[in-house]
């Protein structure tokens, strides 16, 4: 009897409380509550007539304050009316160490994965710390020239240095080139003396290059950014463009450097290097797409020693090692001048001379400091735009 009385009492007390609670939910969170969901209110908005100014007022001030500019120069002339073009892939070099010394042929320079504006103040600081007075500094060209000094270990000469900061071949990278000049003691010297084409002493050039690289590597978290130095070196030294509707890689490099870096790039990411002719500026390469996850079980089985012993080496593996034709044979069949530029689209099945030639030709044309790189079939004929674009993008990614 007592238990029933308590239960009835509890029910009578809870019922008003629940009613108040439910009413409270509607009061605060319901459709008419104080904290209702307003995320769809914009769908109920009405349009209103546009603002009309008095005819006596100047309307020229009206317009978009931040208009989105149209892309006048689109790489490969792609239609970008609907979508923004995809960004260029990050260079494989950018995934490596921040600072390193690159050597290619007789050239050496420091490569850094930062913009030139971050390097300029740090180099000035390095020169001050090491007692190298600055005779000239041209921030627009990225050039710093030291005053004449004497090494304590060699008092028979006067020496000076020229430091050149350039944009790198990859976006957001910089190159630091150093030139050394030395004259015998007793020679009249001045800050206006012309610089020689190459360093007087490769050893003393290398010494400053190593010292500067080590200092920059150790203090890369220090220093600031020079806003005035942001435009050093202009644009990057390698950019993808389109000439006559054909994808082309433009290189603002001297010919020796361009050929050297292309030799490196055409041995990466699925490219196999057959031969090259530096004088003609032509590389004969083979390409097979690389699976980022590695070869599958079927490929491994097909390339296994057991299957190879029975069926022989797969065709793809044979072509990766060599071509049935030499580069000299292909060059005899290669169009020249305007005929090369205006060559028709590739149709390998119709080629009767040197039939079924594998691979591609990477062809370098143009003038010193303004070179164009095209990728063609082995007969010099044009590839379809997408294939050429994809292959040139891979080449560009691995330039150094």
Tell me: the pLDDT tens digits for 218-275?
A: 875 544 555 556 667 667 789 999 998 999 999 999 999 999 999 999 999 899 999 9
What does the block give as tokens for 63? Answer: 């317009």
Shared domain check, 361 and 271: yes
Shared domain check, 327 and 201: no
Taking the whole predicted model, whether its pTM rises above 0.75 is answered as no
pLDDT for residue 105 = 78
Tell me the pLDDT tens digit for each residue of 28-49: 556 666 667 777 777 777 777 8
Number of domains comprising the chain: 2
Task: Name the residue range of residue 382's domain.
Answer: 238-397
Domain end position, chosen among 211, 231, 251: 231
Q: What is the distance between the alpha carbons of residues 82 and 264, in angstroms, rounded to a whole number?
A: 37
Shared domain check, 393 and 263: yes
pLDDT at 93 over 80: no
Tell me the pLDDT tens digit for each residue of 179-231: 999 999 999 999 899 998 899 999 999 999 999 999 988 875 544 555 556 66
Non-local (6+) Cβ contacts of 245 within 8 A are 77, 385
pLDDT for residue 78 = 47
Non-local (6+) Cβ contacts of 398 within 8 A are 91, 92, 93, 264, 265, 268, 269
Quick check: 166 and 142 in contact, CB under 8 A? Answer: yes
Q: What is the distance between the alpha carbons of residues 376 and 360, in angstroms, rounded to a whole number?
A: 6
Domain end position, chosen among 231, 255, 278: 231
Domain end position, chosen among 181, 204, 231: 231
Shared domain check, 246 and 393: yes
Q: What is the distance between the alpha carbons of residues 79 and 372, in angstroms, rounded to a whole number?
A: 23
Query: Which of the 8 DSSP states describes residue 238?
Result: E
Shared domain check, 110 and 210: yes
Please, how many CA atoms are within 13 Å of residue 110, restricted to the half-sphere of its CB? 27
pLDDT for residue 3 = 45
Shared domain check, 368 and 285: yes
- Residue 360's DSSP bridge partners are 285
CATH number of the domain that residue 285 is part of = 3.30.310.170
Q: What is the distance between the alpha carbons of residues 49 and 37, in angstroms, rounded to a whole number?
A: 28
Shared domain check, 242 and 97: no
Q: Is residue 243 part of a domain?
A: yes
Shared domain check, 215 and 104: yes
Q: What is the distance between the alpha carbons of residues 287 and 249, in angstroms, rounded to a whole number?
A: 18
Tell me the pLDDT tens digit for each residue of 292-316: 655 554 555 555 555 455 544 455 6
Shared domain check, 384 and 267: yes
For residue 118, what is the enclosing H or E element?
helix 116-129
DSSP secondary structure letters along 329-391: HHHHT---THHHHT--B--GGG--SSTT--SEEEEEEEETTEEEEEEE-TTSPBPPHHHHHHH
Q: Is residue 5 part of a domain?
A: no
């Amino acid at each position: 009897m007592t238990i029933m009385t308590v239960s009835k009492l509890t029910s009578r007390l809870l019922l008003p409380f629940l009613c108040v609670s439910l009413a409270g939910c509607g009061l605060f969170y319901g459709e008419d509550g104080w904290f209702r969901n307003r995320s769809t209110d914009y769908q109920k908005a009405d349009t209103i007539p546009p603002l009309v100014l008095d005819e006596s007022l100047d309307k020229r001030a009206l317009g978009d304050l931040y208009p989105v500019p149209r892309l006048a120069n689109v790489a490969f002339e792609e239609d970008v009316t609907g979508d923004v073009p995809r960004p260029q892939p990050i260079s494989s070099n950018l995934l490596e160490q921040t600072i390193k010394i690159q050597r290619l042929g007789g050239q050496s320079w420091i490569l850094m994965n930062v913009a030139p504006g971050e390097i300029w103040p740090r180099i000035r600081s390095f020169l001050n710390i090491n007692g190298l007075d600055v005779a000239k500094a041209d921030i627009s060209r990225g050039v710093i020239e030291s005053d004449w000094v004497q090494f304590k270990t060699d008092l028979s000469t006067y020496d000076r240095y020229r430091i050149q900061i350039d944009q790198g071949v990859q976006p957001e990278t910089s190159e630091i080139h150093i030139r050394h000049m030395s004259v015998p003691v007793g020679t009249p010297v001045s800050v206006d003396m012309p610089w020689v084409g190459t360093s007087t002493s490769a050893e003393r050039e290398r010494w400053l290059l190593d010292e500067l690289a080590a200092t920059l590597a150790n203090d890369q978290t220090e220093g600031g950014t020079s806003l005035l130095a942001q435009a050093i070196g202009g644009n990057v030294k390698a950019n993808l463009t389109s000439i006559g509707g054909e994808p082309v890689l433009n290189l603002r490099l001297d010919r020796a450097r361009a050929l050297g870096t292309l030799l490196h790039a055409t041995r990466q990411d699925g490219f196999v290097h057959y031969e090259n002719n530096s004088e003609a500026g032509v590389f004969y390469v083979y390409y097979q797409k690389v699976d980022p996850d590695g070869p599958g079980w079927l490929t491994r089985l097909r390339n296994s020693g057991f299957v190879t012993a029975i069926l022989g080496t797969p065709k793809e593996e044979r072509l990766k090692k060599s071509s049935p034709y030499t580069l000299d044979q292909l060059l005899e069949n290669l169009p020249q001048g305007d005929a090369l530029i205006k060559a028709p689209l590739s149709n390998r099945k119709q080629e009767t001379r040197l039939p079924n030639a594998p691979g591609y030709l990477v062809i370098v044309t143009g003038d010193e400091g303004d070179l164009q790189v095209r990728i063609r079939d082995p007969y010099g004929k044009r590839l379809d735009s997408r294939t050429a674009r994809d292959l040139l993008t891979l080449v560009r990614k691995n330039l150094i």
